[in-house]
Structure 1
Amino acid sequence: MSLLGLALASAQLAACSIAMPSSPHGDDLRAAAEATGSIRKPAPEIARGLEAEDSRRAKAALATALDPQGSGDRVDWDNPQTGAKGVFTPVGQAYPSDGRICRSFLAEIVTSHNEERLQGTACRDKAAEWTLLDVKPWKKG
């Protein structure tokens, strides 16, 4: 290969490579992008408009309804002080998921301002605490 051919080939190859200066913030940006994906959504609520005592009673009823050792029957709750009331009905059998026991449910909750029909799923951890995974409106089919 001639010296001229070698010089042309070198010039073409050099044009293909581009040196990018590294940013001192490059790692910070990458870490921020990764961290953004790890932000957890807040846990869903059983229903809108429940006062603290309503929520406590509803959660206790939900735990009873979803208990895999329970009867599988619906569990009613109410709070005479606020007039809020509801019912939780377990759907299907409990099943394991990521070291937890999960179960689906249907709910009807009435407050002085609202009436909701919901469907959702909750899981119980090793500390026997039920956590809602999802809750959405239920439309009877």
Structure 2
Amino acid sequence: MNRTLAKRVASAVFLFLLTEPLFASNLRWLNYSPVRFFTDQDWNLATEAGRKALNDSADGETVKWNNPQSGSHGSLTPISTSTLDGQRCRKLKIENSANNMQGSSIFDFCLKADGKWGAVDTNPAD
């Protein structure tokens, strides 16, 4: 994945995880990702799991979500926590499955002064 696309995906994931479902519903341009097939309920479940993983979960603790109605599911696992320029940062592994498509990526997020998480870098998983 080239750097520009990686930054776009990181930005999309940031919005997906931390903004209102209205914004997340506009991210379906990710054509080669399971999130392309997410329903509104999938987005809501995944967003809540993302917030819980970043805000409340210990490193290595996986937060799972599942929507039996659509068959979509996923997991979010904080891999590590660090400090960068005084900000709490977390490396987060995100795995999603929808419509027989699976995806896995690792993103770095830092907690900003306004209390929101922001994507700072990305390293797509194999």
The TM-score, its normalising length taken from structure 1, stands at: 0.55
Higher mean alpha-carbon deviation, 98-107 vs 75-84, is at 98-107
Higher mean alpha-carbon deviation, 83-92 vs 121-130, is at 121-130
Tell me the equivalent position of 2:43.
Answer: 55
Tell me the equivalent position of 1:114.
Answer: 101
CA distances 1:105-141 after superposition (whole Å, capped 9, x unpaired): 11221011420121111222234333333445312xx
The 3-state SS of whatever aligns with 2:47 is helix
The structure whose residues are more often helix, as a share, is: 2
Tell me the equivalent position of 1:31.
Answer: none
CA distance in 1, matches of 2:120, 2:43: 16
How many residue pairs get aligned? The number is 98
Runs of 4+ in structure 1 off by over 6 angstroms are none
* Matching of residues 1-141 of structure 1 within 5 Å: 43-45=11-13, 48-49=35-36, 50-67=38-55, 70-72=57-59, 73-92=61-80, 94-98=81-85, 100-139=87-126
Query: Aligned AA for 2:117?
Result: W
CA distances 1:5-24 after superposition (whole Å, capped 9, x unpaired): xxxxxxxxxxxxxxxxxxxx
Unpaired runs of 5+ residues, structure 1, are: 1-39
Shift of 1:99: 5.2
The TM-score, its normalising length taken from structure 2, stands at: 0.60
